[in-house]
Amino acid sequence: MAIKDYIRERFFPHIWCPGCGHGMVLNALLRAFEDLAISKNEIVMVSGIGCSARISGYVDVHTLHTIHGRALAFATGVKMSRPELNLIVPMGDGDALAIGGNHFIHAARRNIDITAIVMNNRIYGMTGGQYSPLSGYGTLATTAPFINIDHAFDVVELAKAAGATFVARTTTYHVKQMSELFKEAILREGFSVIEVLTQCPTYFGRKNKAGSAVDMVKSFKDNTTPVGSKAKLESPGLIERGIFVQKDLPEYTREYDKVIERAMKKR
Amino acid sequence: MAKPKLKEHHINRDWCKGCGICVEFCPKKVLELDKQDKVVAVHFTNCICCKLCELRCPDLAIEIETEL
Amino acid sequence: MNGTLKFVQGNEACVEGALYAGLKFFAGYPITPSTEIAESLAYRLPQIGGKFIQMEDEIGSMCAIIGASLTGSKVMTATSGPGFSLMQEALGYAIMAEIPCVIANVQRGGPSTGLATRGAQGDVMQSRWGTHGDHAIVVMTASNNQDVFNITIEAFNVAETYRTPVILLFDEVMGHTRERLIVPEKDEIPLVERLRTSVKGGVDYHPYLPREDGRLPMSDFGGVHRYNVTGLYHDMWGFPSENPAVVDGLIHHLTDKIRNNVHTITQYKEYFIEDARTILISYGSTARSALHHVLNRRKRGEYIGLLELQTLWPFHGDLIREKCKNAELVVVTEMNLGQLYRQVKIAVDHPERVFLANRVDGVFITPTDIKNMLRLIQGRGV
C-alpha cells in the first residue's frame, strides 16, 4: 500500500498552519504503517483535543477523537477489550502532560501495549498560544506575557520514571529516525513513548522570535545530538535524541490473561 | 542496488502551503517556491531521488516517482 | 420464579444484574458507598473471561468504559457523588458519540465530600443536567434487591437499544441493605444485544445515520468499517461538522430518541393508586418507607397510595398527571431539598396540592417520619 491508502484524502489539505510540524509527524507515521504493512482494520488511533488531536481524522483507520487529556484512558479501554488491536495515541504536550498527565504516568506504569506519541511544540496552538508544561522557563506565551516561570517536564525522564518500557525522542528534522522509532514502538509489546520535537511557527515561533518553520526545523538539527554522543559532553545544552529505554517487561493485557486463568480455577 | 532514476515530481498544488521546508532541506537545491508560494521542481535534472522532500513535507504534497 | 437464592447487599444485586445482562468490561475507582460493586466485579468478571480494571481516577474509568464499549462489549462503571462529578465530561461524550454504557451512582450526602457513609438522594438533578449542553439522559433506580437486579438489566437493555449512557441512581441505604435476591435462570429475562450493521466491508457505511426508528446499527472497532468517533457535532460518517443543518439534526436526534420513547423507557410501580386520596411519590430506598407507611394506613382504611418511580429521567410528566388527577394530596418523599418534588409540581393539574416530605440530615426517612410529616402537612399535628 502507498501512504495515500492510509489517509482520508477528502479532508486534505489539512487544517494545520503552513510549516506545522504535526503534518511531518503524520507523514512519518503513515510511512511507518506502510513499511509495517499493518492492516488498517487493526489500527485504532485515539486522540484528545488540540491541534495534535486532529491527526486522527486524517488517517483511514478506526479513529476515536475524544476529550482533552483523556485519550490514553479511552485507549486503555479499547486495548483491554480487544488486545489484538494496535493502539496509537498521538497527543500534544498540553494534552499529554498537563490535563492528561495522570493518565500518562499510569498508562506507563501498567505497561499496557499502547504507542504514545507526544507531539511537543511547547505551546497550546488551538487556543492561540498559551504556555504548556513543556514551554519551559523563560519562554513567552499569551498567558506568560512577561516571562514564563514554569519549568518544563523532561518527557523522557518522566516516561522512564513512570515505567514506560520503550522511550525515545526525535525531531521533525530527523524524519527517517522518526519513522523508524514509530515502527519500533508499534512492534514492541508494552507502553512506548516517543517524544517528537515539533515546530509551531504560528504561536511558539512568533512569540519567542524563533523564526520561520524552516528556522525552527534547522534548530532541531543544530540543538540535538544522538543519545550518548561525545557532543553532549562538550555542549551539555544539546538535547539528546534516540532510544533511551528499551526493556522487556510483561505487558498489561497479557498479565490480565493470567488473572483470568487464576480466576477461572476458582470458579 | 542501482541508484533510483527520477521519473517525475508529483506536486499537489492544492495541498502545498508553501512553507519552504522541502526547498531549504533539499541537498541538491532542486526545488523552489513560485510566485504563488507553491513548490516547483525547477532543477529536476539535479534530483538524486533521496525523497527527503517527500518525507519532510508537512502537507503530504510531494511524491517522487522513480523508475526503479 | 426459578433461580438461585442469595442473601446480598444492594450493590451486589446490581453486580448480579450486570452480569446477567452480559457485562464484559468494568473500569472504576474506589469510593464509598459504591466500592463493593468494583470489588465484586474484580472477582467475578475474570471468572467469565471479562475484564476489570481499577483506573487512576473516575475520569479515566468513564473514558475506559467508552473505549471498551466501542469494541462491542457491554460496559459499566460505578461511583458515588464526588466521582460522579468527575465523570460528567466523559458522560457528555458518551451521549454525543452514542456509546452504550451504564453508570451506577450510589448516592451519598453532598455537596463535596459531604457524608461519605450516609444515604442521600441529592444527585437527581445532577444526573439529569450534570454534563454541559442540552441533552437527554436515562436515569433509573430501585428500592429493593430484586428490583435493583431487574432495573440493572433494564439499564443495559435501554443503553443498547438507544445507544446511550444509562445512569443507575442508587443510594447508600439501598447499596448496603442486605436482603434476599433470586437470580433467575438464564434466558428468563430478555436481554437486548447491540444492533450491528449488515453493511458489508468496502461499502460506504454511515455509522451515524439512524434508522427510521432512531436506532443506530453500528460496527465494532476492529471490524471491517473504519469510521470516526468524536465529541464534536458530526455528520453521518462521524466527521466533525459545523453545518447548522447537521448540528440541528444531531441535537434533535440525540434528545428525541429518548424523549419520544418516554413511554417505553419509563418503569414504575403503583400501590393502591386507583382510589387514593393521598398519593405518595417516592423512589429508591425512600420508597421502602413510603410503601411501609401506605400498607399500614391501608389496614386502617385510609385511602392512601404510592407511586414508586423507577425511571426518573426522562421524566414522564403525563404519567404523573394522570395518576394524580383525583388525589387531594400528593406528597413527594425524597432525601433532598425537593429535586423531584419540583418536577411533580410542574407536571400535575393542581400544584397547590403537592407537598414535600424530606430529610437532608443523613438520616434515613422512616415510616414514622413519613407519618409525622403527613400529619403536619394535613394540619393534624404530630
In this predicted structure, the answer to whether residue B1 has a pLDDT above a threshold of 70 is no
- Chain A CA closest to residue C73: A81
- Does A205 reach chain B within 8 Å, measured CB to CB? no
Q: Does C268-377 match C3-184 at the fold level? A: yes
- Structural domain total, chain A: 1
The terminus-to-terminus CA distance of chain C in angstroms comes to: 43
Task: State the Cα–Cα distance between residues B23 and B21, nearest whole angstrom.
Answer: 5
Task: State the Cα–Cα distance between residues C26 and C52, nearest whole angstrom.
Answer: 5
Would you call C314 helix, strand, or coil by DSSP? coil
Domain residues for A241? 3-265
- B partners (3+ CB pairs within 8 A) are A
Q: Which CATH superfamily is domain C3-184 in?
A: Thiamin diphosphate (ThDP)-binding fold, Pyr/PP domains (3.40.50.970)
In this predicted structure, the answer to whether residue B68 has a pLDDT above a threshold of 70 is no
Domain of residue A130, CATH code: 3.40.50.970
- Chain B CA closest to residue A212: B19
Task: For residue C358, give the C-alpha cell.
Answer: 424530606
Per residue of chain C (382 residues), what is the pLDDT tens digit? Answer: 679 999 999 999 999 999 999 999 999 999 999 999 999 999 999 999 999 999 999 999 999 999 999 999 999 999 999 999 999 999 999 999 999 999 999 999 999 999 999 999 999 999 999 999 999 999 999 999 999 999 999 999 999 999 999 999 999 999 999 999 999 999 999 999 999 999 999 899 999 999 888 889 989 999 999 999 999 999 999 999 999 999 999 999 999 999 999 999 999 999 999 999 999 999 999 999 999 999 999 999 999 999 999 999 999 999 999 999 999 999 999 999 999 999 999 999 999 999 999 999 999 999 999 999 999 999 999 8
- Does C68 reach chain A within 8 Å, measured CB to CB? yes
Tell me what the mean pLDDT of segment A3-21 comes to. 96
CATH code, residues B6-63? 3.30.70.20
In CATH, C268-377 is 3.40.50.80? no
Tell me what the mean pLDDT of segment A95-119 comes to. 98
- Chain B CA closest to residue A17: B17
Where along chain B do its domains lie? Answer: 6-63
C touches B (3+ CB pairs < 8 Å)? no
Res C34: pLDDT: 98
HSE on the CB side for C237, CA within 13 Å? 15
- The count of other CB atoms within 10 Å of the CB of residue C195 is 16
Flag if C53 and A80 touch (Cβ within 8 Å).
Answer: yes
Task: State the Cα–Cα distance between residues A62 and A6, nearest whole angstrom.
Answer: 11
Which tens digit of pLDDT belongs to each residue from A189-241? 999 999 999 999 999 999 999 999 999 999 999 999 999 999 999 999 999 99
- Does A8 reach chain B within 8 Å, measured CB to CB? no
Which of B16, B39, B50, B56 to probe the A interface (max A CBs under 10 A)?
A: B56
- The count of other CB atoms within 10 Å of the CB of residue C184 is 16
- Residue A19 is nearest to which of B14, B21, B61, comparing CB atoms? B21
CB contacts < 8 A (A, C): 130
Res C152: pLDDT: 98
Res A259: pLDDT: 98
Where along chain C do its domains lie? Answer: 3-184, 268-377
